[in-house]
Structure 1
Amino acid sequence: MHTLTVILGGLLLFAVLALTARLIPWLQHHLLAVFALLWFIASAINMTVGIVHAGYSFMAELPIFFVVFLIPLMLAWAIKKTYLQS
């Protein structure tokens, strides 16, 4: 359940950035790069919390990190390509 919540948080972050991009012209052109950077940092923090506080090993957390990071990134890319042509 936590993984699904984090993935939905990534999609929410992309939605906020996409709406903000309407006000900031340079963000329209760099939307995916900015999202990828911010989401990578958030996913890495999530993985660190899983390692430090929940007691999982790095190797146990790594596949979850990839799922949490890549699913929102792929959906953001598809949404930008389909609906947010700039």
Structure 2
Amino acid sequence: MHMLLVITGGAVLLGLFLLFGHLWGGTRPDLALAAKYFIPVWLAVAALNMWVGVTKAGYSVREETPILFIVFLIPAALAAIAIWRFSR
């Protein structure tokens, strides 16, 4: 359940990045740039989520690494789709 909430949070954060891209520029390249900026920010958030899982929840790095990949890749894939659509 926690994984689903974090992935949903990533999708919402991507939406906020796209909203700010729309508000600050409004053109399609600005939206693509906002999605590009989202990816490293989301990687940091996903890594922070892993760190909390290891230090506070008691999971090992080996147990948390696949979760990190899943949590990062789904919103990052949505961002990649947005980048592709807005840069055409």
TM-score range, shorter chain: 0.7 to 0.9
Report how many aligned residue pairs link the two structures.
85
TM-score (norm 1): 0.87
Q: Measure the CA separation in 1 of the matches of 2:67 and 2:59.
A: 11
| Percent of residue pairs identical | 38
Structure 1: give runs of 5+ residues left out of the alignment.
Answer: none
Structure 2: give runs of 5+ residues left out of the alignment.
Answer: none
Residue type at the aligned position of 1:13: L
After TM superposition, the structure 1 = structure 2 runs for residues 23-42 of structure 1, keeping only pairs within 5 Å, are: 23-25=23-25, 27-42=30-45
Which residue matches 1:71?
Answer: 74
Q: RMSD of aligned C-alpha atoms?
A: 1.8
Q: Does 1:18 align with 2:21?
A: no
Give 1:75 shift.
1.6
Give 1:29 shift.
4.4
